[in-house]
Amino acid sequence: MPAAGESARLLDFDIPAQPLNAALNRYADATGKPALFPSDIVEGRMSSAVRGRYSAEAALLLLLGGTGLVADKRSSGLGQTFVLKEAGTKAGAPRGGMAALFSAQGYAGLAQARIWQALCANARTAPGSYSVLMRFHLDADGRIQGARLLGSSGDARRDAALLEALRGVHIERPAPPAIVQQPLTMVIQPNDPVTGPRCGQDNSEF
């Protein structure tokens, strides 16, 4: 669970209005938290600018202003992640793959944890000092397919190792049928020294 007061800790943000996918990447950079979300929900949407000192939650609310999306918080072994959904969607109401991904069973948190463990198993890919945007989909057996990087991590050998690690991930629970083959995006950013997840912490329970 996040430490008490984590959600109220103020961070510096300087995120101009831009395509929402890019803005969420900047948001993850500022907060130091991994994020996993269905790629299709952000396509064609523009963010609002966020400049100043805000809590992570307040900044995300500002960022999403005018996009037609709102964010729900979920907790996992990697700390808090955000769930994007259409404004006005009732709690628990299905929205294609997103509802299945972020169901009460916590498949998003489980997928994040298994990817994190795979990256931590190799010194070259262990998160902490680089940022990268990864896109992939899941097959029915919970294996990652079609992995690619949306830009480089800054090291060609690490890029190759990242793709190799992703291709070896097998989530022990079958993927919900609604999200099989749906493009997913995961952001990895340098660790927040106070609250960011680190290799070696137990992310196995979901």
- Element housing 84 (H / E): strand 79-86
Q: Could you tell me if residue 29 is inside a domain?
A: yes
Alpha helices in the chain, H assignment, sequence order: 20-31, 56-63, 96-101, 107-120, 156-167
**pLDDT (0 to 100) of residue 36:** 66
* Rounded CA separation 106/74 (Å): 9
Q: Could you tell me if residue 201 is inside a domain?
A: no
Written as tens digits, the pLDDT of the chain (206 aa) is 344 445 568 999 999 999 988 888 788 777 766 566 666 778 889 999 999 999 888 998 999 999 998 877 665 555 566 667 777 755 444 444 555 555 545 677 788 889 989 999 999 999 888 888 888 989 999 999 999 987 888 999 999 999 999 999 999 888 888 778 777 878 787 765 544 566 765 544 44
Q: Could you tell me if residue 3 is inside a domain?
A: no
* Rounded CA separation 25/188 (Å): 9
| Domain span at 46 | 8-86+95-188
Number of domains in the chain: 1
Q: Could you tell me if residue 53 is inside a domain?
A: yes
Q: Could you tell me if residue 68 is inside a domain?
A: yes
**In CATH, what number is assigned to the domain containing residue 78?**
3.55.50.30
Q: Could you tell me if residue 24 is inside a domain?
A: yes
What 152-157 contacts at long range (C-beta under 8 Å, 24+ apart), as own/partner pairs, is 154/130, 155/124, 155/130, 157/124
Q: Would the CA dihedral through 33, 71, 57, 24 be positive or negative?
A: positive
Q: Could you tell me if residue 203 is inside a domain?
A: no
Total length of the chain:
206
pTM value is: 0.57
**pLDDT (0 to 100) of residue 1:** 37
**pLDDT (0 to 100) of residue 96:** 47
Q: Could you tell me if residue 202 is inside a domain?
A: no
**pLDDT (0 to 100) of residue 40:** 72
**pLDDT (0 to 100) of residue 2:** 41
